[in-house]
Amino acid sequence: MRYESCWGRHSCHMGVAQALKALAAISEEKRNRKIDEKIAELAEYFLKHRFYMKSHDPEKVAKPGWLRLGFPLMYQTDVLELLEIFAELRIKDPRLQDAIEIVSLKRNKEGLWKMQNSLNDRMLVPIEEKGKPSKWLTLKALKILKFYAEL
């Protein structure tokens, strides 16, 4: 019962995210039809859930942490990283608009994105500072917004 939300009738969001991330890392030349089909299936899962919404109640957030941007994420993910994976796969779909808007609205007056999530307490060397503007998040967000500008 404890794991039903993750191991119930469908896959766990994190499991799907990690599988998509791994398959997207395979170069196009090395992918076969089966890999492309699995990528499309995993991408559709996230499009259907708008990246972070619950399966059984699409008006409720399933993964609130995915709305807090961070770098590096290691074993976690967020809407920015998922958008980056979709952009690398050249997936453009109107259902991405919600996630794009979330990222866009996190831009501050100076045009930067703040580190909202950090694993610095679990790393040997801290990477940027939570609550401060992040050069890594800003770079990623600008690339994503440029790619999806015409969506």
Q: 57, exposed or middle or buried, with CB in 10 Å at 0-12, 13-18, 19+?
A: exposed
pTM, entire model: 0.86
CB distance 100 to 151 below 8 Å: yes
Tokens found for residue 99: 């996630």
**pLDDT tens digits, the chain, 151 residues: what are they?**
444 554 455 567 788 899 999 999 999 999 999 999 999 999 999 998 888 887 777 788 887 888 999 988 877 889 999 999 999 999 999 999 999 999 999 999 999 999 998 776 676 777 888 899 999 999 999 999 999 997 7
SS3 labels along 131-146: CCEEHHHHHHHHHHHH
